Structures are given as C-alpha cells and as structure tokens.
C-alpha cells in the first residue's frame, strides 16, 4: 500500500455510514482497514438498494450503491461478536492493530468484553474511537439515531429550505447524509490526532464522538450569528445570511449560482452586468449595506440576469473574476472538465462486475500519493486470509463457519 498511513492498521467494527466513512478515509490514506461484519448479513447498507452494482452479465448483485460508497479500500472478515468465539477472535486481532472504530449502542461492547477498558489490557497503545448518535454520556446516550433525525434535532433543518411565504417553503434536509459524513470526518481527524500524540507519549486513547455534538459544532456561522445577536436564524432558501449578493438567479434559459464574496468583487460584478452605478450606491457599496438592503438589490440583479443566457453570464463573470456557475446534475458533475482533469472518478477491479466506479479521495499528496486499488469487499471476502493470519487453520475456520461464528 502507498499513502501516508501505510504503517497503520484499523479494525473497523462499525456499520451504516459515519463509522465506515471514517474507515474509508483512513483506507484511502493507505491504512490497512479490516471491516468486521455479521456472518450471513454484513453491514446494513449492503441491502440499502436499489440501485445495486451490475455483474458482468448485467444482472443485479447484492452490492448496493450505498454500501459501495463508503467501504472502498477495506478487507472484509465475518465475525459474530455476540458469540464467545467471535469475541476471542476480535481480542486476538486487536493485539496487532493501531485503531478500533465502532458504533454500537452505548454499553453493547462492554457486555461482550470488547469495550476500551477490556481491549487496552491487550493492547495498551490502542486508539479506540466510539461513534454514536449522542455520545457516551447524557440523557440521550442510549438512544439510537440516524442522520435525518439529527439534522432536525441539531437545528440544521431549521435553516435549510425556502423561507416562509415563498413557494415550496418549509424545512428541508440536506441532499446527502451530511451529519454522518461530517461525523466520519471528525472521527478520522480525532484518531489521527491520537496517533500523533501516541507517537510522543506512547499512550493509547479512547475517543467519544456523538453525531448531535458534530451537528451542533457544524452550525458554524449560523450558531455564532445567533449567539452574538440573540436572533433566531431563519430559512433563506439559497440566499446567504451574511454575504450578498449570493443566491440562485434565473437567466433567460436556466438558473445559475452567483457568489459575490467581497466589495471588490461586487464592483467587478456590477461592471460585468453593465450596472456600474450600483457599485457606487451607498445602499449597496458595502457588504453590510447590501445585506440590510437586499430587498432592494435583489430585483435589480434578477431583472438584469433575465436578459441573457446563462452561458453568457457565466463567461462574463468568469472573465471578471467573480465566482458564478451553473447548477449541475450529478451526471454533469462527472462530465465537467475540471472534475475529469482531477481524476475524481476512478475504476477499481471488482470480482463480480469486472470494475466498479468509485469517487476518488480529494486528498492529494506529493510524497505519498494515494492509490485506489481495493474495491469495496464482498461479504467475508478476506475471512480466511485474515483468520489464517491470527493462527487459525482451515479445519478450525470450517468449525467456526459451521457454528455461525464466522
């Protein structure tokens, strides 16, 4: 393996999305990630379809697109951790691993003798990261959670969607499971910080990541808007609460995104539209004034943009150095010349389909380049290989398989 984490081993006991997303980030960075799955069933997301990957004959496999999106670069072993023999396998594996990722309900792994306090006795340098809906403490700690629920509970949906009184008004969820993804990102950052500290102190770590905590943290500028003003942030559709003009505008043949970021860009924007007088108008000259007077500014911009095609305006604003662009469909994203140039779509060899498409990691390293060579594994694809490595022979593996342990 290449990549800056090629010396790191990760035991991924997680499933669904947040934990596996963290595991995939680490795998992309070169870590050897072993995905531990339930015998016969595997990760819940394996069945979250359609769509499913097509095999070489064009027929559906059992590999759902959802599962494929978060498990690239891993090896899969099936282990029933609810059985004593399965727990013994995990304890044996942990001896040679740096990181454990898990997202079981609070207390579950403790009942199995696989909590951090149990595993650190086997491997004192182990970094153990627990991902749950609400963290390990507090009144909700034992409750289950999903991304959609946390988007609502954590305030994100209150600021996402069209404003009241407009067509289509109402709270909306983000189009991807953003809380799961950000939770996975925070988990990956946390374990790497613990690795860096371990290199200095020699000590392992136990990390507690809660999805609700992550959502509250990523309210970001909207949280601070509330904290400094005492005013409840409102849904604003596609309009930015602090910087203007930033919105979706209708052109003669379709919509475009406009993202003017500062006063100097506003001057260039006005020149590109032939509305130079707006840049000198005291109601609009400074961003703070544009935010306060958006109701006056918006219709002036909208009327001008309707007078020509989207391609014309995007080209004119690009030439002026003002961020603007179309609203692409997913198919258009992968056809974009910049996306193609950056190699964001990769094909990885797959035992059922020949190859499987995958979205590349956005991280680029000069000295330790990343490689995408391992497809999301079939259920238990590497079980024998991994179990042999901890000393189990074929006869013992067959016994365990017969008993439903692996």
For residue 344, the model assigns a pLDDT of: 98
Q: What is the CATH number of the domain that holds 307?
A: 3.30.1540.10
The domain tally of the chain equals 2
Confirm whether 315 is domain-assigned.
yes
- The torsion region of residue 7 among left (phi > 0), alpha (psi -120 to 50) and beta comes to alpha
The answer to whether residues 305 and 364 belong to one domain is no
Confirm whether 15 is domain-assigned.
yes
The answer to whether residues 51 and 155 belong to one domain is yes
The answer to whether residues 269 and 395 belong to one domain is no
The answer to whether residues 294 and 166 belong to one domain is no
The answer to whether residues 156 and 301 belong to one domain is no
The answer to whether residues 163 and 278 belong to one domain is no
CA 26 from centroid of its chain's CA atoms:
13
Instruction: Report the C-alpha gap between 323 and 320 in whole angstroms.
Output: 9
Confirm whether 100 is domain-assigned.
yes
For residue 221, the model assigns a pLDDT of: 95
Final residue belonging to a domain, choices 278, 305, 327: 327
Final residue belonging to a domain, choices 299, 327, 355: 327
Confirm whether 262 is domain-assigned.
yes
Instruction: Report the C-alpha gap between 4 and 57 in whole angstroms.
Output: 38
Confirm whether 296 is domain-assigned.
yes
The answer to whether residues 78 and 181 belong to one domain is yes
Tokens of 267: 């001057």
For residue 272, the model assigns a pLDDT of: 97
The answer to whether residues 195 and 99 belong to one domain is yes
Confirm whether 294 is domain-assigned.
yes
Which residues have a catalytic role annotated? 180
The answer to whether residues 250 and 294 belong to one domain is yes
Tokens of 356: 């499987």
Q: Is the pTM here over 0.85, yes or no?
A: yes
Mean pLDDT of the chain: 96
Q: What range does the domain containing 286 cover?
A: 246-327
Q: Which stretches of the chain drop beneath a pLDDT of 50?
A: none
For residue 2, the model assigns a pLDDT of: 79
Q: What is the CATH number of the domain that holds 213?
A: 3.40.50.10540
The answer to whether residues 48 and 69 belong to one domain is yes
Confirm whether 108 is domain-assigned.
yes
The answer to whether residues 104 and 252 belong to one domain is no
Final residue belonging to a domain, choices 296, 327, 358: 327
Apex CA 351: angle with CA 348 and CA 352, to 5°?
105
Confirm whether 3 is domain-assigned.
no
> 3-state SS of the chain?
CCCCCCCCEEEECCCCCHHHHHHHHHHHCCCEEEEEECCCCCCHHHHCCCCEEECCCCCEEEEEHHHHCCCCCEEEEECCCCCHHHHHHHHHHHCCCCEEEECCCCCHHHHCCCCHHHHHHHCCCCEEEEEECCCCCCCCCCCCCCHHHHHHHCCHHHHCCECCCCCCECCCCCCCCHHHHHHHHHHHHHHHHHHHHHHHHCCCEEEEEEHHHHHHHCCHHHHHHHHHHCCCCCCCCCCCCCCCCEEEEECCCCEEEEECCCHHHHHHHHHHHCCHHHHHCCCCCCHHHHHHCHHHHHHHHHHHHCCCCHHHHHHHHHHHCCCEEECCCHHHHHHCHHHHHCCCEEEEEECCCEEEEEECCCCCCCCCCCCCCCCCCCCCCCHHHHHHHCCCCHHHHHHHHHCCCC
For residue 56, the model assigns a pLDDT of: 93
Neighbours of 221 (CB within 10 A): 12
The answer to whether residues 202 and 132 belong to one domain is yes
């Amino acid at each position: 393996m290449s990549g800056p984490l090629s010396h790191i081993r990760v035991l991924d006991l997680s499933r669904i999305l947040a934990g596996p997303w963290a595991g995939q980030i680490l795998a992309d960075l070169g870590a050897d990630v072993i995905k531990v799955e339930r015998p016969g069933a595997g990760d819940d997301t394996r069945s979250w379809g359609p769509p499913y990957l097509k095999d070489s004959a064009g027929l559906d496999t059992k590999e759902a697109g959802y599962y494929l999106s978060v498990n690239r670069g891993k090896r899969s072993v099936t282990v029933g951790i609810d059985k004593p023999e399965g727990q013994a396998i995990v304890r044996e594996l942990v001896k040679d691993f740096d990181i454990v990722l898990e997202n079981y309900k609070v207390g579950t792994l403790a009942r199995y003798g696989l909590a951090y306090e149990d595993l650190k006795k086997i491997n004192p340098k182990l970094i153990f990261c627990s991902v749950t809906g609400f963290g390990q403490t507090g009144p909700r700690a034992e409750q289950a959670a999903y991304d959609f629920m946390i988007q609502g509970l954590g305030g994100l949906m209150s600021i996402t969607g069209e404003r009241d009184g407009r067509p289509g008004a109402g709270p909306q969820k983000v189009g991807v499971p953003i809380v799961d993804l950000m939770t996975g990102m925070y988990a990956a950052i946390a374990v790497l910080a613990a690795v860096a500290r371990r290199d200095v102190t020699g000590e392992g770590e136990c990390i507690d990541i809660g999805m609700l905590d992550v959502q509250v943290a990523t309210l970001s500028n909207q949280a601070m808007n509330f904290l400094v003003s005492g005013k409840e942030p409102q849904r604003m559709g596609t309009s930015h609460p602090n910087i203007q003009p930033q919105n979706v505008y209708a052109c003669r043949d379709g919509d475009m995104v406009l993202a003017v970021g500062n006063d100097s860009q506003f001057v260039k924007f006005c020149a590109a539209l032939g509305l130079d007088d707006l840049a000198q108008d005291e109601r609009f000259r400074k961003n703070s004034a544009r935010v306060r007077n958006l109701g006056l500014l918006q219709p002036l911009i909208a009327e001008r943009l309707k007078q020509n095609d989207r391609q014309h305006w995007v080209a004119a604003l690009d030439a002026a150095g003002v961020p603007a662009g179309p609203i692409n469909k997913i198919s258009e994203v992968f056809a974009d010349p910049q996306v193609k140039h950056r190699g964001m779509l990769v094909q990885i060899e797959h035992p059922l389909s020949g190859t499987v498409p995958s979205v590349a990691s956005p991280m680029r390293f000069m000295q330790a380049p990343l490689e995408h060579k391992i497809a999301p594994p079939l259920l238990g694809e590497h079980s024998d290989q991994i179990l042999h490595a901890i000393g189990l022979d074929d006869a013992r593996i067959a016994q365990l398989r017969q008993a439903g342990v692996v």
